Amino acid sequence: MIKKFGWALPSMNIWKSSIRYKWMLLLFLFSLTPLIIMGTISYSLSKSTINEKVTAYSEQLLKQTADNIDTRLGIYKDLMMQVVNNGEIVRMLRDMDRASSSNSYDIDSLSLTTKLSTIIAINQDIQSISFISKDHYIKGIYRWKNRTPKDVSGFLTTLEDGSNFRWFPTRFNTYVDSLNTQSVDVFSLAKQIYKTSDDSPVGIIAVLDIRGEVLRELGSSSTNNDRDIQSFVIDGQGQIVSYGDNSMIGRNVSEVLGEQGYSQIVHSGQDEFRFPLEEHGKKLIVNFKKLHTNNWIVVNVISESVLYKDSDRLLRMFWIIALLCIVLSIVTAIFLANSISNPILKMIRLMRQVMSGDLTVRFRVRKHSDEFDILGSNFNYMVARIDELLKTVYEEQNQKRNAELKALQAQINPHFLYNTLDIIKWTALIQKANNAAEMVSLLSRLLRISLDKDKETVTVEEEIEHVQCYLGIQKFRFHYNIETNVYVEDAVRHLQTPKLILQPIVENAILHAFSDSEQQGQIDITCVRGSDGGICFQIADNGKGMDPAFAKSLLRHHETGEKTGGIGLANVDERIKLISGKAYGIDIVSEPESGTIITIRLPYLE
């Protein structure tokens, strides 16, 4: 009703909302639309610019890091060449390996250590130099703690590389000498030693152990310790050689970048590439570049959240400004709209009072007349006229009720009727008219149930009693030969049911089911608890039955307006639906010469 006067909360159709909300929408459009357009354009441009600059910066840092590592690894190769090309060192190693062939596996020489110390004294990155043959481990500078043939067998694969260098990824190694023990992360460079005279191999591998922190320092120095960019080194198989977290060294890069990142880097077949990646719910930009010195790869990783943090800061400022504009627009809209909407709201409140029955309200008309004052004057006239008409209708209804009361007073009092029937019953008994007395008794009980106008429902027990009274009267009246059986579950006897629903159905069975039938008739009436917890009546007869289509039409005449002979059934079905709902009512199952079963479904009513 309220929506008829134009008052409703904003809905999907803004044109049906109130004037106040239309004003607010108008101000929002004029104030926020330019702001949103400018903010969106600024955010897009800044995001694109930042993306290009950070990408270029990342690629520059990646190239710088790779160049620094290549340069440093080149220094280690030069240092290795100084060792393996030193004729005196090569001679000492050959002599030690041959002279000790039958002695212990572990050998060393102070002269060799002194010579090596002179060569590598200026390079603090070197942790140790060791020499390995198939028969011996020869200490150069610092001795490995684990140096059994099994521990060093991996380094002997360098013999297969000829004169080439072989790099081994970072490992955690322990070194011992006469004074202390030291454990550090190192990566190694290995090369086979050749004779200086004829370049023939001597069967000994030189292994240069380099501190692992060297690679981390080179990566952090190139990125200027920028925490927004993560830089690390992996080998050609994806094993991490250098990483900010030492616990990740030796693991596969898939543990950091996932299988997709591992595949893009290791199997891409490119020396330098950049690709986006989403891992663990984070969007990343990954750059990688292969080193020239070996097959190792330098990887830089940037998080998009870090990449666009400046753009996001701009976006937050934009939303703060937009929120301020929204608040200002709301205040302005309320101030401007109130001057127009307040008279309308006042009129709506008065209309609500009229709708609730108060016809004494009046709109206060101001001295200066405008459209609202004219509307208020017409409203006052309308309310006064409605009040006058209602008083007229009330007087007419009062007179009608008085006339009805007089008519009711002229009708037979039901109690007087019951008492009269009772006197007739006893008179018949005195005169030995037992059948007449029984019929009067049955009629009296039937009327007591059916004439109680104050109740729409009765108990199941009372409804069964009513139909049994009807059956008793019919037996005396027509002397028909019909056997009736009644069964009622104790659980439903005291539940409520709409009254007078069984008698019309039984009456139809008596009048139509057994007409022109010579066989013994039977009507079975049962009442049990339904599967849904409600009440289920069933009236079954062994009469002549009917066509199923005709049976269905007996319940449709009140919809089509046609009378098919079963108006009592249709009225009962309609009354049940009005009282209990459309889910309940009458069902008819019948076949010609096979009898009829009528089922009444009712809800649970206490």
Torsion of CA 332, 333, 335, 338, to 10 degrees: 180
Q: In this predicted model, what pLDDT tens digit does every residue of 489-498 receive, in sequence order?
A: 999 999 999 8
DSSP E strands in 152-269: the ranges are 165-176, 181-194, 201-211, 229-234, 240-242
Residue written as tokens 């028969």? 135
Name the least confident of 387-396, 436-445, 494-503: 436-445
pLDDT of residue 193: 92
3-state secondary structure 475-500: HHHHCCCEEEEEEECHHHCCCEEECC
Residue 410 pLDDT level (bands cut at 50, 70, 90): very low
Three-state secondary structure readout of 333-364: HHHHHHHHHHHHHHHHHHHHHHHCCCCCCCCC
The residue assigned the tokens 């004219």 is 374
- Are 245 and 253 spatial neighbours (Cβ–Cβ below 8 Å)? no
Contact 469, 443 (CB under 8 A): yes
Q: Most confidently modeled of 86-95, 278-287, 359-368?
A: 86-95
Across 516-539, average pLDDT:
87
At residue 537, the pLDDT reads 94
Lowest mean pLDDT among 85-99, 171-185, 313-327: 313-327
Bridge partners of residue 485, in order along the sequence: 524
Residue 588: pLDDT band with limits 50, 70, 90: very high
Per-residue confidence (pLDDT) for residue 33, from 0 to 100:
76
Q: Which residues of 441-465 are buried (b: 16+ CB within 10 A; e: fewer)?
A: bbbbbbbbbeeeeeeeebbbebbbb
Percent helix, strand and coil across the chain, each rounded to 5? 50, 20, 25
Q: Which of 170-174, 367-371, 414-418 has the lowest mean pLDDT?
A: 414-418
Per-residue tokens: 457: 């429902």
What's the token pair of residue 568?
A: 């009592």
Per-residue pLDDT, averaged over 11-40, amounts to 66
Residue 455 dihedral angles phi and psi, to the nearest 5°? -120, 135
Range among 336-350, 484-498, 540-554 with highest mean pLDDT value: 484-498
Q: How confident is the model at residue 223 (pLDDT cuts 50, 70, 90)?
A: low
For residue 359 the two structure tokens come to 């016809």
For residues 81 and 515, the model is more confident at 81
Q: Give yes or no for residue 405 having a pLDDT over 60.
A: no
Where is pLDDT greater, at 476 or 549?
549
Cβ atoms of 543 and 517 within 8 Å: the answer is yes
- What are the C-alpha distances in Å from 236 to residues 173, 249, 294? 22, 14, 9
- Measure the CA–CA gap between 551 and 598, rounded to whole angstroms: 10
| Cβ atoms 466, 537 nearer than 8 A | no
- Does the pLDDT at position 137 exceed 50? yes
Question: Alpha-carbon distance 421 to 423, whole Å?
Answer: 5
Q: Residue 266: name the closest of 301, 237, 300 by CA.
A: 237
Query: What whole-number distance in Å separates Cα of residue 453 and Cα of residue 466?
Result: 15
- Asked whether residue 420 carries a pLDDT value surpassing 70, the answer given is no
Closest listed residue to residue 174, CA positions, set 165, 185, 190: 185
pLDDT > 60? residue 94: yes
Mean pLDDT computed over every residue of the chain: 79
Q: CA-to-CA distance for 53 and 51, rounded, in angstroms?
A: 6
Give the three-class secondary structure for 560: helix
Among 2-11, 246-255, 372-381, the least confident range: 2-11
Length of the chain: 606
Q: What is the mean pLDDT of residues 88-96?
A: 89
- How far apart, in Å, are the Cα atoms of 563 and each of 155, 189, 509? 108, 108, 17
Confidence at 606, pLDDT banded by 50, 70, 90: confident
Q: 192-199 contacts: CB < 8 A, separation 24 or more?
A: 192/158, 192/159, 192/161, 192/162, 192/163, 193/84, 193/90, 193/93, 193/131, 194/84, 194/90, 194/163, 195/90, 195/94, 196/85, 196/87, 196/90
Residue 12's pLDDT is what? 45
- For residue 425, CA distances in Å to 365, 447, 522 come to 76, 14, 29
